[in-house]
Amino acid sequence: MADSIQLRVSRFRPDEDSEPHWQEYDVPLRKEWTVLDGLNHVKNGVDTTLSFRWSCRMGICGSCGMTVDGEPKLTCGTFLSDYAPGPVTIEPLSNFPVVRDLVVDLSDFMAKLPRVKPWIIREDDDRTVFPDVEYLQTPEELDAYKQFSMCINCMLCYSACPVYGLDPEFIGPAAIALAERYDLDSRDRGNRQRLDVLVEHDGVWGCTFVGECTRVCPQHVDPAAAIQRYKLKAALATVKAFLLPRGAR
Amino acid sequence: MIPSSGMPTDLRLYRPRVSTWWWTRKRSYFVFVMRELSSIFVAWFVVYLVLFVYAVGQGEAAYRRFLDWAASPWVTVLNVVALVFVLLHTVTWFNLTPQAMAVRVAGRRVPSFHIIAGQYTGLVVVSAFVLWLVTR
């Protein structure tokens, strides 16, 4: 194995550059080093002006998502040795505005997420609170939504989604997967409220089932599945509204 | 020291544009666009079938004329291309079905393989029936 590998990093400094350009750095190629380790090596000793986000280094905080050789990846779980002999291209996540170097602006997602009400909604909107009541759940009831609760908001799915790239109004994979997570929760009664948001033109019907969100998800959440199931729910709700009297819906 | 003008409030962001050729960048995007395109050929087969049934309804001479037209090189080529796209349509959608349908039997999730196998079984049964109907 060669003892170094070249990182080809996309640089954008808003005060100087009108568009991003490439900058190359040689970093040690070690078996246990991830792309994030390579970037930190640059940041710590070679070029302190390089900007990127990271935190936990163990694939759970969802901060270090970047585009590595054209694929959205968590850089803390992507090993340099898999790209030997290099060079490895590192770009910011696609489909987001770039703030600086590898840092993207996530405010669009932050505005969209609360629209799907990702929290437990009770019948009376929690006006009656029983502090000493436990809402028990069986293992089967937990199993129904657990997969969708694994989302770490790393934005890899938005970066992989061509629909979101072409139409930024689309509410997007992670937000819909989180809506499904609460819909499937046996303690929740908010299905109708979320459906009202997601049947809008920027909701589930924007999805054309490319399936890339699921392929790139580091947590195996399968947002594509959540979206297709929502489409089925939305269609059934429309048919029911058409066929059944009000009380039976 | 904080500069008197304070923090810049309007960040100058770089907004990348999506290229018209984004779907040629990755194999999975290309297959997706081909799958979307295949619906045009599915529609063509519907039109072809309607024309065929109409010709049969018009009598012997119209039926012969339809067969001659259908045997012309360009219609043959079009139908071969359409068949390839319809096969792509079938295979890709069959593969995606388990994701869209979470089927539970007796509290257990039915494995993807069973759902896909069920669809292919249905395809074989229907195809065999049509073949029997046409050739008997």
Interval B82-105: pLDDT, tens: 999 999 999 999 998 888 887 777
Q: Mark whether A235 and A113 lie in a shared domain.
A: yes
- pTM above threshold 0.80: yes
Token digits for A22? 């490439």
**Count of beta carbons in the 10 Å neighbourhood of residue A106:** 18
Domain CATH number, residue A90: 3.10.20.30
- pLDDT reading at B10 higher than 70: no
DSSP category for residue B96: H
- Shared domain for A43 and A90, answered yes or no, is yes
Report how far Cα A35 is from the mean position of its chain's Cα atoms. 19
Please check whether residue B25 touches A, CB under 8 A: yes
pLDDT at A128: 66
Decide if pLDDT at B12 tops 50.
yes
Any chain B CB within 8 A of the CB of A212? yes
Q: Say if CB B88 and CB B39 are below 8 A apart.
A: no
Q: Are residues A10 and A112 in the same domain?
A: no
Cβ neighbours of residue A112 closer than 8 Å, sequence gap 6 or more: A171, A172, A175
Q: Is the pLDDT of residue B6 over 50?
A: no
Domains assigned to chain B: 22-84 (1.20.1300.10)
Q: Which SS3 state, helix, strand or coil, does residue A66 take?
A: strand
A114 and A228 inside one domain: yes
- Which of A55, A79, A104 is the last residue before a domain boundary? A104
A57 burial via Cβ count (<10 Å: 0-12, 13-18, 19+): middle
**pLDDT, averaged across chain B:** 88
Asked if residue A122 and residue A233 are part of one domain, the reply reads yes
3-state secondary structure A189-221: CCHHHHHHHHCCCCCHHHCCCCCHHHHHCCCCC
Residue B2 pLDDT class (50, 70, 90 cuts) = very low
> In chain A, which stretches have pLDDT less than 70?
1, 125-129, 246-249
Cα separation, A91 vs A89, whole angstroms: 7
Is A148 in the same domain as A236?
A: yes
Domain boundary among A104, A129, A148: A104
What's the ipTM? 0.83
Q: What angle do CA A154, B16, B29 make, to 5 degrees?
A: 70
The pLDDT, as a whole number, for residue A243 is: 87
Cross-chain CB nearest to A140 (options B23, B102, B107): B107
Same domain, A91 and A129: no
Q: What is the pLDDT of residue A247?
A: 62
Which CATH number is A218's domain given? Answer: 1.10.1060.10
Residues A165 and A74 placed together within one structural domain of the fold: no
Is residue B3 over pLDDT 70? no
Residue B4 has pLDDT above 60, yes or no: no
A166 neighbourhood in chain B, CB within 8 Å: 18, 22
The answer to whether the beta carbons of residues A65 and A72 sit under 8 Å apart is yes
- For residue A147, give its domain range: 107-248
* A197 and A145 co-located in one domain: yes
pLDDT at position B5 over 70: no
Q: How many domains does chain A have?
A: 2
Alpha carbons A87 and A4: distance in angstroms, whole number? 10
Residues A63 and A140 in one domain: no
Q: Are residues A87 and A124 in the same domain?
A: no
Interchain pair A97, B15: CB under 8 A: yes
Chain A residues close to B15, C-beta within 8 Å? 97-98
Of the residues A85, A104, A123, the one at which a domain ends: A104
DSSP labels for A46-64? I-TT-------SSSSS---
B-facing residues of A in 22-61 (CB < 8 A) are none
Domain co-membership, A50 together with A146: no
**Radius of gyration over alpha carbons of chain B, in Å?**
26
The tokens of A42 are what? 């640059």
Whether the pLDDT of residue B124 is over 90: the answer is yes
